[in-house]
Amino acid sequence: MNDDPLFQVLMLGAGLFILKLWMDDRRAFANGHPNPKALPGATPAGTKAVIIGIVGALVLLAAETWGEIKLGIADEQSDMTALFALCTLTAAVVEEIIFRGFLVIEKRGRALLWAGVFAASVLFAALHPFLWDWTDGKLTWSFTAKGWFSTAAIFAGSLWFYAVRFASFNPRRSLLPCFAAHAAKNLGVIGVKAVQGHLVGWY
């Protein structure tokens, strides 16, 4: 993400606006007047689905943190400001709508569904800048142990979020448990960074 605070504020606002649109669609569905052009997954979800999603995400985060410590790469964590941290929480909503919402292959059988999930998760992980960096119009690659490990962790997280979307405990295929799981993982990352001294400044 761009390091410019103004850009981050704009992204934060955009994320909140998209969340509002999704919540409006969810409310319309719950009231019996579904929007025919609703955002994907704008349906109610049970507390059980939300809790399972969150617990699974935190287990993955715990495994990721433990792995970084065991591999000796925990000190390679990037710094994060409070403003950027807020952006990661709203970004979770936008990413879930795009990937777990739009980038799915439905009504063509389970095999194609999960093949699509795998492919979309590879794309999702690759788009996170752990193996690459774009600065001043220049692309550089970073095939380090930390880069590969973090990319693998993002891939695993994506698979979990997809699993939550299409699990039997989420019969309406709501994105709400995915939002909760993704936000919980990002909030946990913020907490880990704070403990390790990588949460620096407000913006």
Tens-place pLDDT, residues 5-27: 999 999 999 999 999 999 999 99
* CA distances for 5 relative to 78, 80, 191, angstroms: 17, 12, 21
- As a whole number, mean pLDDT of residues 87-108 equals 97
Strand, coil or helix: what is 80? Answer: strand
Q: In whole angstroms, what is the distance from residue 3 CA to residue 19 CA? A: 23
pLDDT tier at 190 (50, 70, 90 boundaries)? Answer: very high
Helix (H) or strand (E) holding 114: helix 110-127
Mean of pLDDT over the chain: 96
Give the contacts of 53 (CB within 8 A, at least 6 positions apart): 160, 161, 164, 177, 178, 180, 181, 184
d(CA 129, CA 80): 14
* Averaged pLDDT for residues 113-142: 96
The mean per-residue pLDDT over the stretch 75-94 comes to 95
Quick check: is 163 in a domain? yes
Number of domains in the chain: 1
- pTM exceeds cut of 0.85: yes
* E strands present in the chain: 132-135, 138-141
Residue 2: its pLDDT value, please? 64
> Is 203 a member of any domain?
no
Position 29 scores a pLDDT of 98
Q: Do 79 and 198 touch, CB atoms closer than 8 A?
A: yes
d(CA 74, CA 65): 8
158/152 Cα distance (integer angstroms):
10
SS3 133: strand
Summarize the confidence of residues 46-52 as an average pLDDT: 98
Average pLDDT (57-79) is 96
**Predicted pLDDT at 89:** 96
According to the model, what pLDDT value does residue 3 have?
81
Strands 138-141 and 132-135: antiparallel
Q: Exposed e or buried b for every residue in 50-80, given b needs 16+ CB within 10 A?
A: bebbbebbeebbeebbeebeeeebbeebeeb
pLDDT value at position 1?
53
By the 8 A CB rule, do 58 and 174 touch? no
Q: Residue 71's domain spans which residues?
A: 5-195
24 assigned to some structural domain: yes
82, part of any domain: yes
* Domain annotation covers residue 202: no
155: in domain: yes
pLDDT of residue 169 exceeding 80, the answer is yes
Q: Quick check: is 200 in a domain?
A: no
Angle at which helices 47-71 and 176-195 cross, to 10°: 30
| Structural domain contains residue 201 | no
